[in-house]
Amino acid sequence: MSRTGDYADETRMLKDILAYSDGNHDLIALAERLNRPAGVVARSCERLHAAGLLTY
């Protein structure tokens, strides 16, 4: 079973989070904008934060 689609989907979400994280919208607004559950977006934000790409 290939997970290529999962990887591409996750990569796309990480890019979208970076693109829409402008400091004016909270996590809920970001999740709504991306049409994703807030918990999924939060975990992705934590990954970006750990990598030094996103600040809280």
Of 46, 44, 49, 52, residue with least CA distance to 16: 44
Report yes or no on 55 lying in a domain.
no
When divided into structural domains, the chain yields a total of 1
Q: What is the pLDDT of residue 49?
A: 96
- For residue 56, is it within any domain? no
Please write down the HEC assignment for all residues of the chain. Answer: CCCHHHHHHHHHHHHHHHHHCCCCCCHHHHHHHHCCCHHHHHHHHHHHHHCCCCCC
Question: Does residue 34 lie within any of the structural domains?
Answer: yes
Q: Provide the pLDDT for residue 23.
A: 87
Which tokens is 28 given?
């809920």
pLDDT at 28: 95
pLDDT score of 4: 58
What is the model's pTM? 0.81
- Whether 19 is covered by a domain: the verdict is yes
Amino acid 3: pLDDT = 56
pLDDT digits 0-9 by tens, 1-56: 445 567 788 899 999 999 998 888 899 999 999 999 999 999 999 999 999 999 88
Residue 38 located in a structural domain = yes
Which residues form the domain of 32? 4-50
